[in-house]
């Protein structure tokens, strides 16, 4: 297990956003987290990546306790996230966006020399298909390219585990396929991936195992087929939609 989450609880005032959730992610897999709106997916994500401190529970990454560790430390250890609402450094060039990750994780004074750093950044941009835009300001990119820049910037930290928060959100089907292609390539290069997604097509296509959250609790875990046949999942997640339609 590359990531182990044990009994994590996160409260906001009286609201329990994440309630005693435990799961594990195996090295090399693509693991999906789904659930209806407000199920606590993003909160769980923020807890794992160090943006929130859990009220109780333990998180281990590569066997090491990382509960409450700061996000920048986690990125250096090899656990990096992206954002549902993409946060490119709009006023900086695409290349500089990626270089920041390299400087931040490899060191500003030590680390790679400038030529190596730029070479590495360009390789990553090539990998996500953005090399031709490297001189452009990030604010000039359309939404689909910003999503790929977001992934490139995360990859530049050399993650062992990449956590993607709705990487296909707000994309056209064509853009979505491009992003998913990148995600598959990332996994092939040996990086473990955790995805939160709303889009069922994406999740069912790309994930090997899926966990379902509802009202902050884990209600199921298994392969895409198991999940799509699970009674409770259908009731909680898919069911509400069928119910509305019938």
Helix runs in 130-188, H state only: 143-155, 173-188
Is residue 64 a contact residue for another protein (CB under 8 A)? no
- Stretch 208-237 residues interacting with another protein (CB under 8 A): none
* Of the candidate residues 6, 38, 57, 103, the single one contacting another protein (CB under 8 A): 103
* Of the candidate residues 26, 53, 87, 229, the single one contacting another protein (CB under 8 A): 87
Residue for token pair 């999503």? 147
- Stretch 127-166 residues interacting with another protein (CB under 8 A): 139, 153-154, 156-157
Is residue 110 a contact residue for another protein (CB under 8 A)? no
**Surface-to-core class of residue 8, CB atoms within 10 Å of its CB (0-12 exposed, 13-18 middle, 19+ buried):** buried
Is residue 104 a contact residue for another protein (CB under 8 A)? yes
| Least distance from another protein to the Cβ atom of residue 237, Å | 27
Stretch that binds another protein, among 25-33, 98-106, 180-188, 210-218 (CB under 8 A): 98-106
Nearest of 23, 28, 71 to residue 51 by alpha carbon: 71
Q: CB within 8 A of 196, min separation 6: which ones? A: 32, 33, 34, 41, 42, 45, 84, 164, 165, 166
| Least distance from another protein to the Cβ atom of residue 41, Å | 17
Is residue 48 a contact residue for another protein (CB under 8 A)? no
Beta bridge partners of 204: none
Rounded to whole angstroms, how far apart are CA atoms 203 and 189? 20
| Least distance from another protein to the Cβ atom of residue 62, Å | 16
> Judged by CB, which is closer to another protein: 139, or 225?
139
Rounded to whole angstroms, how far apart are CA atoms 212 and 227? 8
Rounded to whole angstroms, how far apart are CA atoms 71 and 77? 10
Q: Where are the extended beta strands (E) located within the chain? A: 3-12, 15-25, 30-34, 56-61, 64-65, 79-81, 161-165, 192-196, 209-214, 217-222
Is residue 71 a contact residue for another protein (CB under 8 A)? yes
* Of the candidate residues 16, 62, 69, 92, the single one contacting another protein (CB under 8 A): 92
Give the residues lining the site for another protein (CB under 8 A).
Answer: 49, 51, 70-72, 75-76, 80-83, 87-92, 96-97, 99-101, 103-105, 108-109, 114, 117, 139, 153-154, 156-157
């Amino acid at each position: 297990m590359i990531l182990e989450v044990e009994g994590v609880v996160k409260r906001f005032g009286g609201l329990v956003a994440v309630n005693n959730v435990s799961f594990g992610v195996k090295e090399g897999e693509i693991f999906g987290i789904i659930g209806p709106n407000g199920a606590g997916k993003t909160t769980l994500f923020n807890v794992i990546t160090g943006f929130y401190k859990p009220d109780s529970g333990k998180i281990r990454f590569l066997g090491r306790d990382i509960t409450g560790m700061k996000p920048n430390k986690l990125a250096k250890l090899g656990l990096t996230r992206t954002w549902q609402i993409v946060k490119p450094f709009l006023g900086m060039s695409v290349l500089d966006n990626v270089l920041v990750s390299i400087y931040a994780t490899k060191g500003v004074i030590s680390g790679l020399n400038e030529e190596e750093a730029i070479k590495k950044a360009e390789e990553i941009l090539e990998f996500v298909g953005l090399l031709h835009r490297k001189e452009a300001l990030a604010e000039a990119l359309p939404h689909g390219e910003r999503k790929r820049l977001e992934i490139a910037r995360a990859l530049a930290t050399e993650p062992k585990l990449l956590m993607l928060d709705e990487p296909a959100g707000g994309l056209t089907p064509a853009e979505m396929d491009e992003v998913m292609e990148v995600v598959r390539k990332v996994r092939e290069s040996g990086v473990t991936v955790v995805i939160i997604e709303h889009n069922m097509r994406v999740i069912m296509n790309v994930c090997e195992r899926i966990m379902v959250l509802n009202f902050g609790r884990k209600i199921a875990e298994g392969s895409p087929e198991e999940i799509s046949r699970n009674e409770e999942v259908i009731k909680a997640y898919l069911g509400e939609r069928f119910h509305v339609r019938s």
